[in-house]
Amino acid sequence: MTDSKAISRETLESMLKAINMGVLLVDQDCKVLFSNHFMTINSGRSAEELVGRTLFEAFPELPEVWTRQKINSVATLQNFAFTSWQQRPHLFNFESTRPISGLVRHMYQNCTFFPVQDADGSSLGVGLAITDTTDTAARQLELTHLNKLLEEEKSAQALLIARLEDAQAQLLQSEKMAAIGQLAAGVAHEINNPIGFVCSNVNTLRRYLVDIFALLEAHEQASDETHANAHPELAIMRDKMDYKFMRQDIDDLLVESADGLDRVTRIVRDLREFSHVDSYEWQLADLHKGLDSTLNVIWNEIKFKAQVIKCYGDIELIECMGSQINQVFMNLLINASHAVGSDGEITVRSGREDGGVFVEIADNGHGIPPEIQNRIFEPFFTTKPVGMGSGLGLSLSYSIILKHHGRLTVESEPGRGSRFRAWLPLRQPQQQALSTSATEGC
C-alpha cells in the first residue's frame, strides 16, 4: 500500500516545481532546505547547489543582516512578512531574459517570508516566495523612458518651431526690404528721366539769358542822350522793375536751381546705389560708397539729431551683396540716431583688420544695459516702445553678416554710448575656392 504522506510530499514538490514563482525553505540558520525549479532556472543554481548551503553562500548579493532579522522574526512570531521590490530592489539579482526597448533589465521581485510547520505544528523553517514582477516594473520603466523621449522630442519641436518662426520673420523682413529696394529703384528711374531734361533746360536757359543780357548791354551802350529824351518811358519802366536787382537775382536763382537739381540727381543715384537692384549676386563693392549712399537716403532721420563724423580708412573692394550690406548699415545708423539725444554724435570708422575690413558705427547715446547685451541680436527683442520697432533690425543684420562669413559685435556702456563693429572678409570662401580651382586648371 502506498504511503499517503509520501504521495503528498511528491505531489507538493510537483506543484512547487510547476508554479511560476520561486520557493525556498530555510531553517533559522538560513540554510536552504528546499529550492524549486523556478529558482534553478532564474538563479542559474541547481537545487543540489543550493540545498545545504546558507542563503548568503548561494546568493552573495543578499543583505545578510537584514535578511537574518527578517527570517528570525518570522520564525519567532510565526507570521507573514512581505517585502516589495520598490522598498528593496534586486533582493535576488536575477537577470531578465526579456529586454525592454533595447535596454538591459534585471528581474524585480516581490518576496514574501512565511512560517512553515509540520502536521504536528512543529516548525520546519521559513519559506520564501519570490514573485516575478518584471513585467510590471518593466512597463513602468518603459513608460518612464517613453515619457522622457516624448519630453525631449517636444522640447526639440518647440526649439525647431521657434527657429522656423525666426527664419520666417527674417525672410519677411528681407522680402520687405527687397520690395522697398525695388520701389526705390523704380522711383529713382522715373525721377531720373524728368530730372534729366529739366537740368538740360535750365542749362540752356542760362545760356539764353547770358545772350539776352549781353544784347541789352549792347543796346544801352549804343543809345545816346537824344534817344533817351525821345523815349522817357523806357527809363521809367527800367526803374520800376529794378532791372539791376532782377538781373543779379536771375543769376542767383539759376545757380540755386542747378544746385537743387544736382542734389536731386545725387539722391536718385544714392537710391539706386542703396537698393542695388541689379546686384543680387556676389560682386565687388566699395563700402564707402555704400555708407555714403545709405547716409544720404536716411539723412532726414539723422540730421536733426546728431552730427555724423566720418573717419574712413584705406580699405579695398570686398566681395559681397551690396544691397544687403547697405541694409546692415541702415539698421545700425538708424539705431544710433535713436540712441543719441538732440546734440549727439555718430562716428563712422573703417579700416583693415585680420585680413579683412571693418566698419564701425559708434554713438554717444544712452548705451545698452549689460543684462540685455547678449539678447540684442535675438529676433523680436526690442527695447523700444510697442509699435516703434519690430525687433528684427539687428537680428537680420547679424544674419546677413554671418551669411557673408563675417562677424558683428557690440561694445556698450550705459550712459556712454554703443559701438557696433562689422568685420567682413575681402573674398567669400566658396568664391575664392572656385577662383583658385579655375587658376590651377589653367
The predicted structure's pLDDT at residue 407 = 92
Query: Please, are residues 125 and 25 in contact by the beta-carbon 8 Å criterion?
Result: yes
Query: Please, are residues 79 and 85 in contact by the beta-carbon 8 Å criterion?
Result: no
Exposure class string for 121-153: b at 16+ Cβ within 10 A, else e: eeeebbbbbbbbbbeebbeebeeeeeeeeeeee
Query: Please, are residues 107 and 134 in contact by the beta-carbon 8 Å criterion?
Result: yes
The pairing of strands 344-353 and 306-311 is parallel
Q: Name the nearest CA neighbour of 42 among 88, 89, 109.
A: 109
Q: Name the nearest CA neighbour of 108 among 11, 208, 22.
A: 22
Spell out the domains of the chain, with CATH numbers in brackets: 13-141 (3.30.450.20), 278-429 (3.30.565.10)
Contacts of 285 (CB under 8 A, 6+ apart): 279, 317, 318, 319, 320, 322, 325
The predicted structure's pLDDT at residue 436 = 47
The predicted structure's pLDDT at residue 100 = 41
The predicted structure's pLDDT at residue 384 = 60
pLDDT in tens, the chain (442 residues): 445 444 566 777 778 777 888 888 999 889 999 888 888 888 888 888 899 999 899 888 888 888 888 888 888 877 777 665 444 545 676 654 444 444 444 555 678 888 888 777 788 889 888 876 655 555 666 677 788 888 888 888 888 887 777 666 656 655 665 556 556 666 666 676 777 778 888 888 888 888 888 887 777 766 666 666 666 776 677 777 777 788 788 888 888 888 888 777 777 766 666 655 445 568 888 999 889 888 887 887 788 888 899 999 999 999 988 878 888 898 899 888 888 877 789 999 999 998 999 999 999 988 888 888 777 877 666 666 544 555 567 888 888 898 899 999 999 888 888 999 999 999 988 655 444 444 444 4
Query: H-type helices in 90-131, by residue range?
Result: none
The predicted structure's pLDDT at residue 358 = 95
Could you give the maximum distance between any two Cα atoms of the chain, in Å? 181
Cell 502506498 sits on residue? 2
Query: H-type helices in 242-350, by residue range?
Result: 243-275, 287-297, 299-302, 322-339
Q: Name the nearest CA neighbour of 207 among 172, 254, 242.
A: 254
At residue 44, what is the residue type?
A: G
Residue 20 to residues 15, 129, 132, Cα–Cα distance (Å) = 10, 10, 8
Contacts of 45 (CB under 8 A, 6+ apart): 35, 39, 58
Please give the model's pTM, rounded to 2 decimal places.
Answer: 0.45
What's the rounded Cα separation, in Å, for the pair 73 and 30?
A: 12
Q: Name the nearest CA neighbour of 290 among 262, 318, 260.
A: 318
Contacts of 425 (CB under 8 A, 6+ apart): 318, 319, 355, 356, 404, 405, 406
Report the SS3 class of residue 64: helix
What's the rounded Cα separation, in Å, for the pair 211 and 283?
A: 49
Report the SS3 class of residue 216: helix
What's the rounded Cα separation, in Å, for the pair 55 and 39?
A: 12
**Edge-first strand listing for the sheet containing 344-353:** 306-311, 344-353, 356-363, 417-425, 407-413
